[in-house]
Amino acid sequence: MKYEVKQGILKVENLQEFLFKYGDKVVFLNADYIVDENHVYFAVKKALKAWEKDRKVAKSLPLEVMLYAAATRQIRDAIKLGVKEGINKVVGVFFNNVKVDDFEEKKVLVEVSKNKEKLKRIVDFFDISEDELKVVGAEKIPLLIRERIVLFDIEK
């Protein structure tokens, strides 16, 4: 399946209408929970492989991507990575060249090791222990996230 990953700003006026219109064509992930674009590419790759091998967890590919990006089976936890009504800083996965109204491509990802607020959010969300953080350092968090995605894939 063909897809593109883009960073940007997304304005959502009505979440229900937005999901009805684009729900199966694109997935937008909250940039505050994404460590880098490789995080998203890795999650998409794993989700697509799960769908191809009929090992999926979710009923839609975008939700499957969200579960992999969050490294969890729990939809209620994974949707924290989703969009809300209003202005959203996002990393979007666009399937089959879909165009989305009210999306402006723009660099929005902030490096985790250079932003204490994002570091805390990522550490809390992905349950990274202080010991793990001490051993690898903040600059290696992207590797820890990919490790959690792999573990999710194995354990699901």
Q: Each residue of 110-150: pLDDT tens digit?
A: 999 889 999 999 999 999 999 999 999 999 999 999 999 99
**For residue range 27-73, what is the model confidence (pLDDT) as tens digits?**
999 999 999 999 999 999 999 999 999 999 999 999 999 999 999 99
Burial 15-24 (b: 16+ CB within 10 A, else e): eeebeeebee
Total-model pTM = 0.94
Fold of 3-155: PF0523-like (3.30.2380)
pLDDT tens figures, 1-16: 899 999 999 999 999 9
**Domain-by-domain residue ranges, the chain?**
3-155
pLDDT, averaged across the chain:
95
